[in-house]
Amino acid sequence: MDVIEAHGARIPVLGFGTMTLKEDLCVELVEAALQLGYRHLDTAQMYGNEREVGQGLRDSLRGSGLKREDVFVTTKVWFNRLALGDFERSVDESLEKLGLPWVDLLMIHWPNAQIPLAESIASLCKVKKQGLAKNIGVANFNIAMIEEATTLASEPIAALQIEAQPYLDQTKVIGVARKHGMAVVGYCPLARGKVPADETLGKIGRAHGKTASQVALRFLEQHGIVPIPRTSKRERLAENLGSLDFTLTEAEMAEIGKLKRPDGRIVSPPQAPQWD
């Protein structure tokens, strides 16, 4: 699988998002994803499934010829654990649950207006220096926060994770992330079920023998964004991988680009910053 490089991080261009997956189903799907060819797993302490993701990874490595270094694992620190000391404890807990000595990417999951950014960025950089994370990143930051974080950080911030799907215009924040050399990882790439029924995406998909979902993922991939679709169905794992073996034309990319709309954002919880 191709990778996107950013400040030394090598992030596989398609990931498997695990939010809401629990217990045996999570273990089975992580193992199935890696068997199918995924090399990028995305979890978070808040998802409550790090133990299962780690188990699925170990089950897949056993006897497969895959090595730990072949799989890019991301986890995140929840916004209520960003204070000095609590941040580090959160990371230790995540690694214990995952059963790993380090993760490939550790992220601040959401900003917290009650905790100075300088404090949480210092903790993020400290964890990297200790070797507990190979790379660090931030999620759900607005432009001002990205600018401040990169100024404060003593280690390079390798990635920004944001909502990225065909109905949401993230051009400004992506531009700032790229100015600082960050990779962009996109969650909710299928817009929580809106994409499969989209007529425009379906029409373009038929021209390529692909589904609307595969088209939406390919749209992001061709924009250099790493989508991390979540699914609870094994057949969807294979379908999502099918986004990697075709190319949308410039005209098709432009047509999909017109799907953006002012109310396109899906995820905006109470802790969200002022969006750009």
H or E segment to which residue 274 belongs:
none
Q: Are strands 9-12 and 3-6 parallel, antiparallel or unpaired?
A: antiparallel
By 3-state DSSP, what share of the chain in percent is helix, strand and coil, each rounded to 5? 45, 15, 35
Which of 38, 47, 167, 187 is an active site residue? Answer: 47
In the structure encoding, which two tokens stand for residue 144, read together?
């001002």
Q: What angle do CA 230, 121, 55 make, to 5 degrees?
A: 35
Nearest CA to 230 out of 72, 100, 105, 47 is that of 47
Nearest CA to 107 out of 133, 85, 86 is that of 133
In the structure encoding, which two tokens stand for residue 259, read together?
């799907």
Is 187 catalytic? The answer is: no
Rounded distance, CA 26 to CA 96, Å?
17
H or E segment to which residue 72 belongs:
strand 72-77
Rounded distance, CA 75 to CA 6, Å?
17
What phi and psi values does residue 84 have, to the nearest 5 degrees?
-55, 135
Specify the 3-state DSSP secondary structure of 70.
helix
Rounded distance, CA 229 to CA 275, Å?
22
Catalytic positions: 47
